[in-house]
């Protein structure tokens, strides 16, 4: 008897339909055991692919990108799924200060002095010193906006202080800063497309490489955050982490660029250094501005 696909009606010539890909439907597929089996498979395959991908991410710099770019896409998680799952773990890790500055460092002038936790007990010189700090690149535009927001709140509640506002901001900014890590990816990909234009790669391919590299940076930040959280850390350990992290990142990035783009080793080191500078610039200018505005807006 000829059997047709339940999904699209094509005549079947094997276990899978050659037209739509659905598996041949059998009576067992209607049973609870099938449903439970699917549930178990979804959990364990996610689990094993996730850990396999994380292992490759940590031990084989650039390998995940090479596999993805050359079309072998079954072994590992998709770059975006891996990025989002690492991002989820990053949410549970202690916050990193570079990605989430305190309110007082994000605003400039008088407002920073008023937001100081000890504002009432600061000497006039200390206040003047804080107020002379201009804040971040975005502060000239965002500080007047924040001042208007505080004034609106004070119109309702005269007892509301700038410090109250800063506390509220800081309560919401940590999670938002972690959620917005992905903002680095499109900008880094654009920078890479320019630096490596001779590679004649699609923008999306640079995007994939950036997803993998940023996922690694998040794993690194999770590890550093946990290490610093341990009480055993002395000043010596903290200094070595502070120096070791960028060096480790540079070695990893060089190896990844060498592998993905078949560069000479000194070219790979050069691109890795450029990438780190690009990350720093993107982090301190556009990322910080967007993170600050959104955290104020959503608090
Ligand atoms: Zn079909």
Written as one string, the DSSP assignment of the chain is ---B-TTT-PBPSSSB-TTT-PBPP-GGGGSHHHHHHHHHHHHHHHHHHHHHHHHHHHHSTTHHHHHHHTT--SSS--HHHHHHHHHHHHHHSPPPGGGS--HHHHS-THHHHHHSTTGGG--HHHHHHHHT---STTHHHHHHHHHHHHHHHHHH-TT--HHHHHHHHHHHHHHHHHHGGGGHHHHHHHHHHHHTGGG---HHHHHHHHHHHHHHHHHHHHHHHHHHHSTT--HHHHHHHHHHHHHHHHHHHHHHHHHHH---HHHHHHHHHHHHHHHHHHIIIIIHHHHHHHHHHT-
Q: How far is the CA of 15 from the centre of ligand 1 (A)?
A: 11
Which domain covers residue 182, as residue numbers?
A: 78-299
Provide the residues around ligand 1 (an ion) whose CB is within 5 A: 5, 7-8, 10, 17, 19-20
Examine the domain organization and report whether 165 and 299 are in the same domain. Answer: yes
Q: What is the pLDDT of residues 212-245, one digit of tens each?
A: 999 999 999 888 888 777 766 677 777 888 788 8
Examine the domain organization and report whether 18 and 125 are in the same domain. Answer: no
pLDDT for 77: 93
Examine the domain organization and report whether 135 and 281 are in the same domain. Answer: yes
Query: Considering the domain boundaries, does residue 44 fall inside one?
Result: no
Q: How far is the CA of 42 from the centre of ligand 1 (A)?
A: 22
Q: How far is the CA of 81 from the centre of ligand 1 (A)?
A: 27
pLDDT for 231: 63
pLDDT for 97: 67
Q: How far is the CA of 129 from the centre of ligand 1 (A)?
A: 72
Query: Considering the domain boundaries, does residue 41 fall inside one?
Result: no
Examine the domain organization and report whether 13 and 154 are in the same domain. Answer: no
Examine the domain organization and report whether 2 and 103 are in the same domain. Answer: no
Examine the domain organization and report whether 149 and 260 are in the same domain. Answer: yes
Q: How far is the CA of 39 from the centre of ligand 1 (A)?
A: 23
Query: Considering the domain boundaries, does residue 49 fall inside one?
Result: no
Examine the domain organization and report whether 4 and 82 are in the same domain. Answer: no
Q: How many domains in the chain?
A: 2
Query: Considering the domain boundaries, does residue 294 fall inside one?
Result: yes
pLDDT for 98: 73
Q: How far is the CA of 3 from the centre of ligand 1 (A)?
A: 11
pLDDT for 291: 93
| 10-residue mean pLDDT series, the chain (299 residues) | 87 90 88 88 80 94 96 92 93 78 88 86 86 89 93 93 93 90 96 95 97 96 82 73 89 98 96 96 94 92
Examine the domain organization and report whether 3 and 88 are in the same domain. Answer: no
Q: How far is the CA of 14 from the centre of ligand 1 (A)?
A: 11
Query: Considering the domain boundaries, does residue 66 fall inside one?
Result: no
């Amino acid at each position: 008897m000829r059997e047709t696909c339940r999904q699209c009606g094509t005549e079947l010539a094997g276990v899978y339909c050659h037209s739509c890909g659905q598996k041949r439907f059998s009576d067992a597929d209607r049973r609870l055991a099938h449903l439970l089996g699917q549930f178990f498979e979804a959990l364990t395959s996610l689990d094993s692919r996730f850990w396999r991908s994380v292992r490759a991410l940590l031990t084989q710099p650039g390998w995940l990108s090479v596999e993805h770019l050359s079309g072998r896409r079954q072994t590992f998680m998709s770059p975006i799924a891996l990025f989002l799952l690492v991002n989820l773990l990053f949410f549970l890790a202690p916050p990193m200060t570079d990605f989430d500055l305190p309110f007082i460092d994000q605003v400039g002038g008088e407002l920073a002095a008023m937001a100081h936790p000890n504002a009432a007990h600061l000497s006039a010189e200390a206040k003047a010193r804080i107020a002379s700090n201009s804040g971040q690149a975005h502060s000239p535009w965002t500080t007047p906006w924040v001042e208007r927001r505080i004034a609106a709140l004070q119109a309702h509640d005269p007892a509301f202080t700038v410090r109250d506002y800063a506390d509220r901001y800081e309560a919401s900014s940590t999670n938002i800063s972690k959620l917005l890590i992905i903002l680095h990816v499109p900008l880094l990909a654009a920078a890479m497309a320019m630096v490596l234009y001779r590679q004649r790669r699609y923008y999306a391919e640079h995007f994939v490489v950036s997803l993998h590299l940023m996922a690694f940076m998040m794993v690194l930040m999770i590890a550093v955050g946990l290490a610093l959280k341990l009480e055993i850390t002395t000043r010596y350990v903290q200094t070595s982490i502070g120096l070791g992290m960028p060096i480790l990142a540079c070695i990893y990035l060089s190896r990844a660029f060498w592998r993905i783009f078949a560069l000479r080793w000194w070219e790979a080191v050069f691109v890795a250094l450029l990438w780190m500078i690009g990350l720093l610039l993107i982090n301190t200018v556009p990322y910080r501005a967007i993170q600050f505005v959104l955290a104020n807006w959503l608090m």
